[in-house]
Structure 1
């Protein structure tokens, strides 16, 4: 299971539980908005990862330095760290992989 698969499964669970959110926490609307924001973070990580891997694959036949702009690698790293922080909230889950710990 990848960190993305893990987070999507946890977010699915959170979304199903959102209807029971208490008014003191902002209610179901707030809980659903929280899940949606986290999904956007996960999706941006997936997009950045695919983009960078595509750049690497496209440049595999070239000579010279590492394919992809340095800032793109930095952005991918930042998105990965964000995803790892999101996963850390579920560290007690049996499917949590300790290699994701930040």
Structure 2
């Protein structure tokens, strides 16, 4: 039976949002810890993005809030999809493959 713990790489987690600062941090991490040693990187990278709830994004309650909720939720899903796609493209451009 193989010792899988010895074979596992340390995990590096980078949290991102849709800001330029966030993507700069991801790019910096890729440049300094992952891309230079690809494909034999010493780390496993996990990129995390959290989509806020529509309730927190609306920030108010009252008449009309229920009408706005589906639109806000749809916009938040689109933003989250763009963030994830941009992160994938950045990783790909640095020759860091997803796994």
Confirm or deny a common fold (TM above 0.5).
Answer: no
Which category of TM-score, normalised to the shorter sequence, fits these structures?
A: 0.3 to 0.5
Bigger RCO (CA 8 Å, 6+ sep): 2
Considering fraction of residues, name the structure with more helix. Answer: 1
Structure of larger gyration radius: 2
Q: With structure 1 as the length reference, what TM-score do the two structures score?
A: 0.36
Considering fraction of residues, name the structure with more strand. Answer: 2
Q: With structure 2 as the length reference, what TM-score do the two structures score?
A: 0.37
